A = this chain, B = another copy of it.
Amino acid sequence: MAVNLPPVADLLPVAGVRVGTSCAGVKQTVRDDLVVMTFAPGTRVAGVFTQSAFKAAPVIVCQRRLDGVAPRAFVINSGNANAATGERGVEDAERCCTRVAERLSVPRESVLPFSTGVIGVRLPVEKLERGIDAAVQRLADDWTPATRAIMTTDTGPKAVSRRVTIDGVDVHVTGMAKGAGMIKPDMATMLAYVATDAAVDPGCLDRMIRDSNASGFSRISIDGDTSTNDSFMLVATGAKNVAIRSTRDRGYRALKRAIGEVATELAQRIVRDGEGATKFVTVTVSGARSSREALAVAYTIAESPLVKTAMFASDPNWGRFCMAIGRAGVVGLDPARVSLHLDRVCVADSGMIAPSYTEAQGAEVMARDEFCVRVDLGRGRAEETVWTCDFSYDYVKINAEYRT
């Protein structure tokens, strides 16, 4: 199902990070569904969370904690989102944190909880407590088992590493993510964790997470729906002898680039594994007056059911692109200045089908499993890119049968 989703290969360990998994049996008992990640003392953590007004209990707990004690562990479960569970949901999340804290002998406030799965159902805390005990027993350097344990409707794990050399020291950046539906910007993925073994000061870490979120997770949309549980965590353990103290430090740009690459790669893999996806589509809008305007048009195209079904059908339906561009809310847009390319094929120019264009050209591009939709609005210099997938029978099937 997924569109060229690369297998997880050769993940680099991150010094100061240990990962353990177990099968708590939250929803099924076939594979691991619980992860405990631990961090060396002195680790710094930054987080970005869903914009939903219906924040899940673990998100509420994480946001309360991030201003307090330095995090020493994450506890992550799949199969149940612990969302729309009210004050009890918060208590349940706290109980999981307490168990981790006891087993690791760290303060409860240093443990951050994350959940993904069904909404509105209470967490089976006893099962999770037993799972936590087992996962703590299995803490190791290898992230690979965890990349699978955080999956829900994902067809495969998503993880990637980068290595950068800073001041002669090998610094590792490794990230993993899950998410395949309910995916939309303002935080796009359900859960993503990126860690490095460099030491990074809080100001630099904040900037790195904001920028890598903006260029990665906030540039994807599968169905325009935003989860209650979205969380992206950036972890810097400082276990290697490299410190980034200011944005002017020599290593800042190199590390920021590596983290940005990992975030973008994870974001794209989430789209490649979009529910029912058969195409991976890059939508680039240029000639806009502002980044905001470019994004508005790009997202309207990326989220239009009529455009997405045309993508599924490999149908170069210029009318649907017009429709989406037209309803994106760009005030004063002059259709006579709008052009559309599918990869290198010019479909429309000056708001009309280009004289040179043939349907066969457009259909040939859209039959590819990856292609680019390029729209120029002809009214400014701003340009933005988002990634999306098509809308297939299987999207309906997956989401109509999710709980049945």
Contacts and interface: CB of A to CB of B under 8 A. Distances in A.
A305 B352 CA distance: 31
Interface string A173-206: 0000000011010100000000000000000000
Contacts of A353: 84, 120-121
A392 B309 CA distance: 12
A54 B119 contact: no
A224 interface: yes
B399 A326 contact: no
B181 A306 contact: yes
Q: Main SS of chain A's interface residues?
A: loop
A155 interface: no
A52 interface: yes
Interface in A389-404: 391-393, 395-397, 399-404
Interface string A153-188: 000000000000000000000000000011010100
B119 A319 contact: yes
Contact of A305 (B84, B330, B351, B395): B395
B84 A333 contact: no
Nearest to A399: B309
A367 to B, nearest CB: 12
B319 A53 contact: no
Interface string A289-311: 00000000000000011100110
A317 interface: yes
Contacts of A320: 119, 225
A306 B399 contact: yes
Nearest to A324: B225
A169 to B, nearest CB: 42
A323 interface: yes
A350 interface: yes
Contacts of A393: 393, 396-397
Contacts of A256: none
A52 B325 CA distance: 8
A84 B319 contact: yes
Interface in A316-347: 317-320, 322-328, 330-333, 335-336, 338
A358 to B, nearest CB: 13
A318 B84 contact: yes
B319 A120 contact: yes
A122 B206 CA distance: 53
B83 A319 contact: yes
A386 B309 CA distance: 24
Given A309-B399, A315-B402, A225 B323 contact: yes
Given A318-B120, A326-B54, A310 B86 contact: no
A29 to B, nearest CB: 22
B120 A305 contact: no
Contacts of A81: 319
A110 interface: no
14 contacts: A53-B327, A53-B330, A53-B332, A54-B335, A55-B335, A84-B318, A84-B335, A119-B319, A120-B322, A184-B327, A310-B400, A312-B400, A395-B396, A396-B396
Given A223-B305, A225-B306, A315-B402, 11 more contacts: A51-B327, A52-B327, A53-B328, A86-B350, A120-B322, A120-B353, A313-B399, A313-B400, A317-B403, A391-B396, A395-B396
